[in-house]
Copies of this chain bind each other. A is one copy, B any other.
Amino acid sequence: MSGVRSPTELSAVFRANGLRVTPQRQLLFRLLYADTTHPTADALFTVASEQMPGISLRTVYQTLTDLTSMGELQSFDFDGTATRFAPNLGEHHHVVCRSCAKAADVHVDGTTHLRIDGLGGFSVESSDIVFRGLCSECAASATITSITSITSITSSKGSRS
């Protein structure tokens, strides 16, 4: 239920579902294992290409789709850009940086005490909580930018861009 499934285990899952285990798939199993960045298909394609030049982006999408429909991965749409994929761990939620789009897992206590008002016939099966804010790196550079900006205004005697 929790923990990342190993490449070997994923191979077994594929065979159990009547799917073949190819070098491309094995590589992706390895890359996904212990990847905590919630990467996009294209990000995985880039790193996969280093180890296997010629692998196609189409195959990356295919494998991610397969893994997702088998329940081994979850897919997320944190913003309007590319879909992000991550191992389907136990119940957890996410923080997303509004500046660099970095995402991280968080564990949230107290979700069972939430009172939902206004459901009007909807039945709830799951919940996704996305906390938005700034990662530490972006918070740091925001501070620097702000200081630079003040310095710039001071030293340029109030010019406007």
Contacts and interface: CB of A to CB of B under 8 A. Distances in A.
B135 A106 contact: no
Interface string A93-129: 0010110000011111111011111111111111111
A132 interface: yes
- In the complex this chain forms, how many copies of it are found? 2
A136 interface: yes
Contacts of A136: 120-122
Interface residues of A, number: 42
Majority DSSP secondary structure for residues of A touching B? strand
26 contacts: A77-B77, A77-B78, A80-B83, A95-B119, A98-B125, A105-B118, A106-B118, A106-B119, A106-B122, A108-B114, A108-B117, A109-B114, A109-B115, A110-B115, A111-B114, A121-B135, A122-B131, A122-B136, A125-B133, A126-B131, A126-B132, A126-B133, A127-B129, A127-B131, A129-B129, A129-B130
Interface of A: 75, 77-80, 83, 95, 97-98, 104-111, 113-136, 139
